[in-house]
Amino acid sequence: MDRRQRKTRERIFKAFTELLSQKDVNKITVGDIIEKADVGRATFYAHFPTKDFLIKDLNEELFCHVFDSVESDGCHKHIFKCEETRSIYLHLFKHLQNNDNGILDLLSGENNELFLRYFKEGLKKLIEKDFEKSEYTGSEELPKAFFINHLAATYVETVRWWVDNNLKETPEEITHLYLTAINLKGHRV
């Protein structure tokens, strides 16, 4: 990809991210973005047909990276290994704490719904894949689909709570809260 393209793309992402942490996404105009990014109007539309696509691409950039770095990391074959230091969940919490890609700015603020929803979907796929590997077929108590949704949703809501409360807990602590909340031991390994 052309260097110019990468640069403008970056600048638009950056400007948009900053704006998102300041005001409601619906109040952000293309004018705002291109001014902050210092980019021509036509250029913006050459990259993104509309603001929704910008959001979509931003989501992909954020989470594909996060999830990929998890999957390619060979030691995470089973999400629920309960060896906490290796847990994929701890891993993700640490990513957050580092504020990789300025993801914290996006998850705090009023627009977090925009990303948490996407995040949840990615998580669900990840968990599902893990379940297939370990040939989990559901418990007597909870049907599989419900359980997967519950695990992902609880994780996302834990993240939301953590971020809203300014990351007071360490990644290890918040991981422990999460695992306790889903009552890991009660369900399976």
Partner DNA sequence: ATGTAATCGAACAACACGTTCGACACCGTT
Partner DNA sequence: AACGGTGTCGAACGTGTTGTTCGATTACAT
Structure token digits, residue 89: 């969940």
Q: 43 is in the binding site of which of DNA, its own copies, none (Cβ under 5 to 8 A by kind)? A: DNA
Site string for its own copies, 113-132 (x = CB under 8 A): x---x---------------
Q: Which stretch binds DNA (CB under 7 A): 23-31, 105-113, 134-142, 157-165?
A: 23-31
Q: Cα separation of 84 and 89, whole Å?
A: 8
Please tell me whether residue 30 binds DNA under the rule CB under 7 A: yes
153 is a site residue for its own copies (CB under 8 A): yes
Among 5, 69, 165, 170, binds its own copies (CB under 8 A): 165
Largest CA distance in the chain: 59
**What is the distance between the alpha carbons of residues 19 and 36, in angstroms, rounded to a whole number?**
9
Q: Which stretch binds its own copies (CB under 8 A): 29-37, 53-61, 86-94, 144-152?
A: 144-152
Among 145, 170, 188, 189, which residue sits at the site for its own copies (rule: CB under 8 A)? Answer: 145
Distance CA 122, CA 66 (A): 10
Give the Cα-Cα-Cα angle 186, 121, 88 (nearest 5 degrees). 50
Place of tokens 């939301």: 160
Question: In this complex, which beta carbon is closest to DNA, that of residue 50 or of residue 170?
Answer: 50
**CB proximity list for 12: less than 8 A, separation 6 or greater:** 33, 34, 37, 39, 44, 47, 48, 54
**Minimal distance, residue 73 CB to DNA, in Å:** 31
175 binds, among its own copies, DNA, none (CB under 5 to 8 A by kind): none
- Among 111, 131, 116, CA closest to 188: 131
Q: Which residues bind its own copies (CB under 8 A)?
A: 26, 113, 117, 141-143, 145-146, 149-150, 153-154, 157-158, 160-161, 165, 177, 180-181, 183, 186
